[in-house]
Amino acid sequence: MVEIQKNIDVPLPNYKEKWSFHRLEIGDSFAIPFEDNELEVTRLRTAASAYSGRHRVRLVTRTTEEEGTKMLRVWRTE
Protein backbone atom coordinates (compact mmCIF):
# COMPACT_ATOMS: atom_id res chain seq x y z
CA MET A 1 0.00 0.00 0.00
CA VAL A 2 1.16 3.56 -0.74
CA GLU A 3 1.90 5.87 2.19
CA ILE A 4 0.13 9.27 2.00
CA GLN A 5 2.36 12.17 3.07
CA LYS A 6 1.41 15.76 3.88
CA ASN A 7 3.22 19.11 3.87
CA ILE A 8 5.82 18.30 1.24
CA ASP A 9 6.55 21.33 -0.95
CA VAL A 10 6.52 21.08 -4.72
CA PRO A 11 10.08 21.68 -5.98
CA LEU A 12 10.78 24.74 -8.07
CA PRO A 13 10.79 24.12 -11.83
CA ASN A 14 14.14 23.59 -13.49
CA TYR A 15 13.37 26.09 -16.25
CA LYS A 16 13.78 29.84 -16.23
CA GLU A 17 10.81 31.91 -15.11
CA LYS A 18 10.45 34.93 -17.32
CA TRP A 19 7.39 36.49 -15.66
CA SER A 20 6.53 35.93 -12.02
CA PHE A 21 2.74 35.98 -12.25
CA HIS A 22 2.44 33.27 -9.59
CA ARG A 23 4.24 35.48 -7.05
CA LEU A 24 1.77 38.37 -7.43
CA GLU A 25 -0.73 38.80 -4.65
CA ILE A 26 -3.90 40.84 -5.11
CA GLY A 27 -2.89 44.48 -5.51
CA ASP A 28 0.73 43.74 -6.56
CA SER A 29 2.11 44.88 -9.90
CA PHE A 30 5.27 45.06 -12.00
CA ALA A 31 6.25 47.03 -15.08
CA ILE A 32 8.54 46.84 -18.10
CA PRO A 33 9.64 49.69 -20.40
CA PHE A 34 7.48 50.09 -23.48
CA GLU A 35 9.79 52.08 -25.76
CA ASP A 36 12.02 50.05 -28.11
CA ASN A 37 10.55 46.94 -26.50
CA GLU A 38 7.28 46.41 -28.35
CA LEU A 39 7.85 42.71 -29.08
CA GLU A 40 8.46 42.03 -25.38
CA VAL A 41 5.35 44.08 -24.48
CA THR A 42 3.28 41.90 -26.81
CA ARG A 43 4.79 38.75 -25.29
CA LEU A 44 4.01 39.97 -21.76
CA ARG A 45 0.41 40.79 -22.63
CA THR A 46 -0.04 37.39 -24.28
CA ALA A 47 1.55 35.56 -21.34
CA ALA A 48 -0.61 37.47 -18.83
CA SER A 49 -3.76 36.59 -20.76
CA ALA A 50 -2.81 32.91 -20.96
CA TYR A 51 -1.82 32.72 -17.29
CA SER A 52 -5.02 34.36 -16.10
CA GLY A 53 -7.10 31.93 -18.14
CA ARG A 54 -5.27 28.85 -16.88
CA HIS A 55 -5.12 29.87 -13.22
CA ARG A 56 -8.42 31.74 -12.80
CA VAL A 57 -6.85 34.99 -11.64
CA ARG A 58 -7.41 38.44 -13.09
CA LEU A 59 -4.38 40.25 -14.46
CA VAL A 60 -4.83 43.74 -15.87
CA THR A 61 -2.29 45.44 -18.16
CA ARG A 62 -2.12 49.18 -18.79
CA THR A 63 0.30 51.52 -20.48
CA THR A 64 1.45 54.11 -17.95
CA GLU A 65 3.79 57.09 -17.81
CA GLU A 66 6.29 56.70 -14.96
CA GLU A 67 9.01 59.28 -14.39
CA GLY A 68 8.82 60.34 -18.02
CA THR A 69 9.07 56.80 -19.37
CA LYS A 70 6.27 54.88 -21.10
CA MET A 71 5.79 51.56 -19.26
CA LEU A 72 3.54 48.53 -19.49
CA ARG A 73 2.32 47.66 -15.97
CA VAL A 74 0.64 44.40 -14.96
CA TRP A 75 -1.58 44.23 -11.85
CA ARG A 76 -3.20 41.26 -10.17
CA THR A 77 -6.68 42.46 -9.27
CA GLU A 78 -8.31 39.24 -8.01
| Tens-place pLDDT, residues 12-46 | 777 677 888 988 999 999 999 988 888 999 999 99
Question: Could you give the CA distance from residue 55 to residue 42 in angstroms, rounded to a whole number?
Answer: 20
The reported pLDDT for the residue numbered 61 is 95
Both ends of the chain: CA-CA distance in Å? 41
In this prediction, residue 9 has a pLDDT band, given cuts at 50, 70 and 90, of confident
Residues forming a β-bridge with 64: 71
* Whole-structure pTM value: 0.74
Q: How far apart are CA 28 and CA 15, in angstroms?
A: 24
Stated as kind and residue range, the H or E segment containing 71 is strand 69-76
> What's the confidence (pLDDT) of residue 56?
92
